[in-house]
Structure 1
Amino acid sequence: MINIWRLTKLQLFSSFGLNKALHTKDVKEKRKSLLLAFGILVGVLMIAVVSFGYNFMLAVTFEQMGRMDLLLAIMMAVTSIVGFFTTVYKASGVLFSYKDYDLVMSLPIKTSHVVASRVLQLYVLNLFFSLMVMLPAGVVYAIKVNPGTLFYLFFLMTLLFIPLLPIIAATIIGSCISWISSRFKASRMISLVLTFAIVIVLMVGSFTLNGNEQALADMGAELADMIFKLYPLAAMYVDAVCSYQVGSLLLFIALSVLSFIIFATVLSTKYKAIHTGLMTSHAGSKYTMKPLEASSPFRALYKKELRRYFGSSVYVLNTSIGMILLLVMSVALLFVSSEKLGEMIEIPQLSHYLSTLAPILLSLFVVLSCTTSSSISLEGNNLWILKSSPVSKQAIWLSKVAVNLTITLPVLSISSVMLMISLRTGWMESLLLLVIPLIYACYSALMGIIVNLKLPNLEWKSEVTVIKQSAAVLVSMLIGIISLLVPLGLSLLLTQVNANLLLLGVGMIMIAACLAMYRYMQTKGEQLFQRL
C-alpha cells in the first residue's frame, strides 16, 4: 500500500505543479504559487455559488411537486454523466499514454501497484468535481427538507463512491476507441470522430430531460422513473440518502467498490498487453521522394503548430467542444424560434435578451476554447528547439495565436450568420454579433499566450496534465469568464442604458486590451521566452 500511496501522491503533485511550489527556494516562484492558489480558490468558490443557485432554483420546483428527492437524483446522475464523458478522453492519457511509462515500469514495484496508483489518480480528479456539484445540492436539500442525522452520515459516505462506476465505463470506452482507431492509418481522426460522437450523443440525450417548471411539475414520478431507468444506481442512492435505507446504502457501496476492485484487478493483469495494443499504430504508406518545399518562418511554424494541435485528441476535444456546442446551438435555433423557446421555458423576453446579449454568449464559447493557454507548455522538453531556432520569438507566439483563431473564427462566422437569421437582428445588433466575439477571440488567444509564458509547465508526463489541469489553463479561463461577467452584469443592472451602446463600449475596451497585450508581447516576449 505504501508504494501505491507514494506513486499516487507524486502523480497528483506533478499534475497540479505542487512539487515545484513546495520545494522551490525562489521567492518569486513562491509568490506566484500563492497567487495561483488564491485564484483557484476564487474559481472554486464561484463554481460553488453558481451550483448552489442552480440547485436552489430546481429545489423550488421539486418542493412544489413534493419530490425533493429528485434534486439529489438529478445531481447525482449529472455528476456521473459529466464525469463519464470527461474521463472518456483523458483515461487513456492518464493510464497508458504517459511519457515515463518505461521508467515507472522498470522500478522494483508490482504492476498492480502502478495500475492502482493511476486509477486512484483518475478517481481523485473525478471526486473533486463530484464534491463541487454534490455538496451544494446536499446543502440545498438540507435547507429545504431539514432531514435527520442519518442523512448527513449517509450523504457524506456515498459521496466517496459516486465517481467509481463512471470511471470504469469511461476507461473501457476510451480504451476501446483508442484501440479501434489504432488499427487504421488515420488513427487520430477516427479517435476524434468516435469520441465526439459519444460526447454529442450523451449531450443530446441529456437535453431531452430539460423542460420548463410546469412540465416538470406535471411529470413527477415519470421524471423519477426516467432517471432511475437511465442510471439504476441513482435509485439506490436516493433510497439510501433520502429514505435512510441501510440495505440500499450497502448495495450501492458494494456494487461500486466490487466493480472497481474487479476492474482494477483485470486491468493490472492485462496492463502491459493493453498498453502495447493501444500504443501500436498502423504503419504508414511507403515513403516516396517528393520535391522539397520552402516556406516562410511563420508559415512553417503555423503548419507545425497545426499538426501538433490535430495530433492530440485530448487537445482537440478539450479546446473545440465549446465551438461544436455553439454550432449545434446555432443550428437548433434555426428550427426553434427564440419566441417559441421563450414560451417553452416561460421567459417572454428571451428573444430580446438573446438579441442583445448574443455577442456575450458567443464570446463565452470562445474563451472556453482557448488553445494558446497550453501551447507553450505542450512543447515540453522540446522547447529548446524553438528557443535555439533562427526565427524570431514573435513568429513563434504569433503562429500559436493564428492556430487559435483558425479553430474559432470559422465556427464563429457561421454561427453568427445563423443567429442573425434566427434572431432577426437589426444592422447594429448584427454588427456587434460579428465583431464582439471576434475581439474576444483575439483577446483570449493573446491572454492565453501571456499566462502560459508566466505559468509554464514543461515537466509534464501526460498531456492531460497540461491541457486540463495546468495552472495556465485555469487562470486564463478564469480571466476570460470574469471579462464576460462584468459586461453581462452591467447590462442586467443598467437596464436604462442602451445595450448596443454598452456592448460598443465593451468592444472598445477589449480592443484596447488586445493592443496592450500585443504591444507587451512585442517588447517582453523575447525576455519571457528566454526565461523558460
Structure 2
Amino acid sequence: MLHGLGLLLKIQLLGTFGLNKALHTDRAKAKRSIALFLLAVIAIGALCVGYSLGAAFGLGSFGLADDIPFVAVLVGSLAGAVAAFLKANGVLFAFKDYDIVMSLPVTTMAVVLSRLAALYAVALLFGAVAMLPAFGVYATYAGVSFSSVVMVVLSVFLAPLLPMTVAVLLAVGISAVAARMRHANIVTVVLSIAAVLAIIVVPNAIVGSTGGDDAEIMAFLAQQLSAMAALLPPVAWASTGIVSGDMVAFGLFAAASIIPAALGIALISHRFASINTLLMASRPKGSFSFDAAGKNEASAKPRSPLVALLAKEASRLVSTPIYLMNSCIGYVLVLVASIAAAAASALGMLPPEIMGGKVGALIAAFLPWMMAFFVGISSTTAASVSLEGKSRWLMYTAPVSARTVLGAKALLSLAIAIPSVLVGGVLLSIAFGVGLLSGVLAVIVPASVAVFVTVFGLFVDARRPRFDWKSEYEPVKRSVSVTITVFSGFAIVLAGVLATAVAGAIGAIIFSVALVAAAWFLFGKLSAAPLRE
C-alpha cells in the first residue's frame, strides 16, 4: 500500500497548478508557475503572520499571555475545518477521473489517504503560519520548558485533525442530503454558505461585542476565552499541556485528535465507492415532450449573443457549487457584515465611542478598504475561461467576437459584485454614521476594486487557460490565474490603504479612478486579440 500511496501523492502534487503538464511540455512555464505560486504563498503567509503576532501581542498586553496557546490551537483547528469543508468535494469526492483512479492497482485506503493528505497539507500550512508566531510571542511572555516546546510542535500537526474529520463528514452529509433533492446544486451552495458563515461569523459575534476601558476589555476577553474552553475541551487540554507542562492533558488532546481521524478514515474508506456513486449520480429534472418544446420554441424571443452568453455563464456558476462558493463568498460576507452592522446600530448595540472622535475618523477613512478586501479576493472570472474545458470549441467557433465572449464573463462578475457593494456600502455607512463623502467612497472604492479584479482575473485566465482538468476543483482552487488574482486583490487593497493614509479621500478617489482606467486598458488589450487555446 505504501508504494501505491507514494505514487498517488506524487500525482496529487504534480497535478497542482498544472505542473505535471508544464514539466513535460514547457519547463520554463513550470518554473514560472512555481515562482508565482511561491510569491503568492509568501505574501499571504506574511499577512497571516502579521495578524497572528498582533493578536498574540494584544492578549499579552492585556495580561492574558497564558491564553495565547489556547487561541493558537483554536486557529489551527479552524484552519483544518475550513480547508477540509471547502475542498472536500472535488478532491476527496466527486472528482471526474474517479473511474480511472479506482481502476488502478491500489487499495481504496491508499486513494483516500492520498486525497486526505492534500486537504491536511493545506490545513497544516495555514495552521502552522498562524500558530507558530503566536507561540513565539507566548515564549517571550512566559518561560517554556523543553517538554512545552515539544508539545507546541506536536500541536501544530494535531490541531487540524479532529476538525478536519468533522468538516469532511459534514461536507459529505450536506452533499448527500442535497443530492436527493431536485435542485441539488443550489441546496449544496446554500447549506455550504450557511456552514461557512457559522464557522466564521459566530465566533466573531461572541467576541466582538465589547467596549470600554482596558480592565473591562480584559475581563470580557477572559470570560469569553473561559467559555470557549468549556465548549472545546480538546483545545483546552492542548493549552493546559503547553502552559503547565501537563503531559496527561496533552495526551488527552492527542487521543481526541488521532482516534476520531483514524475512525473517520476507516469509515470513508469503507463507504468511499457508495459515497462517490451517490454524489456523482444524476437524475432527470423534468419531463420532455415535443409539443411542449414546440410551444416554448414558438413563444421564445430571440436573444442577443451577449445575453445568451451571459445566461450560459450564469448557468455554469449556479450549477458548479465549488465555483460559486469560491468566487462569491466575499460578496456574501460583505452583505452579512453590513446587515449585521445595520441591525446592531438600529438596536443600539454598537459602542458609542466608534461613532466619533479618532476611532470614528479611522472607520470613515478605511471602511471602504475593509469592504474592498473581501471584494478583492472574489472574482468569477479568474477561472471562467478554464472552466470551458472540453466545451471550449463552442467558445472558439461561435459567430461572435472575443470581446462579446469575454464581456459576458466580466458582466456576470460585475452583476454580482456591484449590487453587493452598493447594498453593503450604504448599510455600513448608515450603521457607522459616516459623512456623505465617506459614504460615497464606501461604494466607489470597493466597486473600483471589483472592476479591476474582474478584468484582471479574466486577463490572466484567458492568457493562461487550463483545460486539462479532471474536476472543477482544479481550475477553481489550484490554478495559477486564481492565485495571481487573489494576490493582486491583496496587493491593491494594501496600496489603496497606503494611498488613503497619505492623501486621505483624494488619494482614495485617485486610486479608484486609476483602477478603473487600468481595467479598461486591460480589457481592450485582451479583447483585441483572438482567444487562445
- TM-score, normalising length: structure 1: 0.91
Deviation at 1:219, TM superposition (A): 4.1
Deviation at 1:146, TM superposition (A): 3.4
Instruction: Identify which of 500, 510, 513 aligns with 1:508.
Output: 513
Partner in structure 1 of residue 493 of structure 2:
484
Partner in structure 1 of residue 322 of structure 2:
314
Structure 1 residues 7-36: Cα deviation after superposition (integer angstroms, max 9, x where no partner)? 122113212333245444453x14522541
Partner in structure 2 of residue 254 of structure 1:
255
CA distance 1:113–1:344, change in 2 (3 Å): farther
1:115 matched to 2:122 = no
8 Å CA contact 2:78, 2:160 repeated in 1? no
Structure 1 residues 330-381: Cα deviation after superposition (integer angstroms, max 9, x where no partner)? 2233244499746567995232222232322222222122111111122223
1:422 matched to 2:431 = yes
8 Å CA contact 2:453, 2:488 repeated in 1? no
Structure 1 residues 155-207: Cα deviation after superposition (integer angstroms, max 9, x where no partner)? 11221111111111111111111111111111111112222222223333202
8 Å CA contact 1:372, 1:404 repeated in 2? yes
8 Å CA contact 2:37, 2:483 repeated in 1? no
Matches within 5 A, 1:414-453: 414-453=423-462
Counterpart residue type for residue 194 of structure 2: A
1:209 matched to 2:210 = no
Query: What is the identity percentage for the equivalent residue pairs of Structure 1 and Structure 2?
Result: 27
Partner in structure 2 of residue 465 of structure 1:
474
8 Å CA contact 2:75, 2:127 repeated in 1? no
CA distance 1:59–1:164, change in 2 (3 Å): same
How far, CA to CA, are the matches of 2:498 and 2:484 in structure 1?
21
Deviation at 1:238, TM superposition (A): 0.9
Matches within 5 A, 1:310-389: 310-337=318-345, 341=350, 343=352, 348-389=357-398
Instruction: Identify which of 125, 129, 140 aligns with 1:128.
Output: 125
How far, CA to CA, are the matches of 2:417 and 2:195 in structure 1?
22
8 Å CA contact 1:187, 1:281 repeated in 2? no
1:36 matched to 2:36 = yes
8 Å CA contact 1:374, 1:472 repeated in 2? yes
Instruction: Identify which of 134, 138, 144 aligns with 1:147.
Output: 144
How far, CA to CA, are the matches of 2:350 and 2:95 in structure 1?
46
8 Å CA contact 2:365, 2:500 repeated in 1? no
1:69 matched to 2:58 = no
8 Å CA contact 2:345, 2:431 repeated in 1? yes
Partner in structure 1 of residue 265 of structure 2:
264
How far, CA to CA, are the matches of 1:76 and 1:324 in structure 2?
27
8 Å CA contact 1:74, 1:227 repeated in 2? no
Partner in structure 1 of residue 230 of structure 2:
229
Farther off after superposition, 242-251 or 35-44: 35-44
8 Å CA contact 1:55, 1:140 repeated in 2? no
State the number of aligned residues: 520
Structure 1 residues 34-90: Cα deviation after superposition (integer angstroms, max 9, x where no partner)? 5414522432442244234323433333xx43x423112112213323431342232
Counterpart residue type for residue 96 of structure 1: F
Partner in structure 2 of residue 284 of structure 1:
285
Instruction: Identify which of 152, 164, 176 aligns with 1:167.
Output: 164
Counterpart residue type for residue 327 of structure 1: L
8 Å CA contact 1:323, 1:408 repeated in 2? yes
Structure 1 residues 112-161: Cα deviation after superposition (integer angstroms, max 9, x where no partner)? 22122122222112111111211211221122223122222221122111
Unaligned runs of 5+ in 2: none
The two structures, once aligned, show a CA RMSD in angstroms of 2.5
Unaligned runs of 5+ in 1: none
- Name the SS for the 2:158 alignment partner: coil
1:305 matched to 2:284 = no
How far, CA to CA, are the matches of 2:365 and 2:166 in structure 1?
42
Partner in structure 1 of residue 58 of structure 2:
58
- TM-score, normalising length: structure 2: 0.90
- Name the SS for the 2:207 alignment partner: coil
Counterpart residue type for residue 315 of structure 1: Y
8 Å CA contact 2:207, 2:221 repeated in 1? no
